[in-house]
Amino acid sequence: MENEKEYKVLADVDQLDQVMTYMEAYMNEVRCDESIRVMVMICVEEIFVNIAHYAYRERGYVWVRLHSSEENNQESRLTIRFEDEGKPFDPLQRADPDVTLGGEERKIGGLGIFMVKQSMDEVSYEYANGRNIFTMEKKWKRNQS
């Protein structure tokens, strides 16, 4: 079974609640495992807020594309793709922060994308057709009961 949806929203932090509500409804619809919901929501918030803050000089939009699939009757996969027409920027090219350093010693920035990379099973970035495309995937085993 596959399920795919798309949501277009103004790239503005004031729209974060709407994005989170949409995401929560989708995860309910596809029966996303409770154990990964909070982690996925934190990652969605991180990526959306980064786009809202940095992608555009003026107004612009974010397309949130959601896809879920069930594989071999035991595993589900949730794919979340963010697209924007802002300035090209690959957040995955930034070096991971040294998390062994104390807060005062560590450079500012980079912790959010580091957390996304650690939390999700796959993350990727590409710039195509005038759009930044950031994709993240999370898999989980379905209960057989």
1: pLDDT strictly greater than 50: yes
How far apart are the C-alpha atoms of 71 and 60, rounded to whole Å? Answer: 35
Token digits of residue 53: 């803050």
Domains by residue range for the chain, with CATH: 2-141 (3.30.565.10)
Q: What is the mean pLDDT of the chain?
A: 87
C-alpha distances out from residue 84 to 9, 27, 103, 121, Å: 10, 22, 32, 22
pLDDT at 88 over 70: yes
| pLDDT tier at 145, thresholds 50, 70, 90 | very low
Spatial distance between the Cα atoms of 85 and 65, rounded to a whole number of angstroms: 15
Q: What is the 3-state secondary structure (H, E, C) of 110-141?
A: CHHHHHHHHHCCEEEEEEECCEEEEEEEEEEE
Note the pTM of the prediction, 2 decimals.
0.88
- Per DSSP bridges, beta strands 75-84 and 2-10 are unpaired
Question: According to the model, what pLDDT value does residue 38 have?
Answer: 92
Q: Are 43 and 115 in contact (CB under 8 A)?
A: yes
| pLDDT tens by residue, 34-59 | 889 999 999 999 999 999 999 999 99
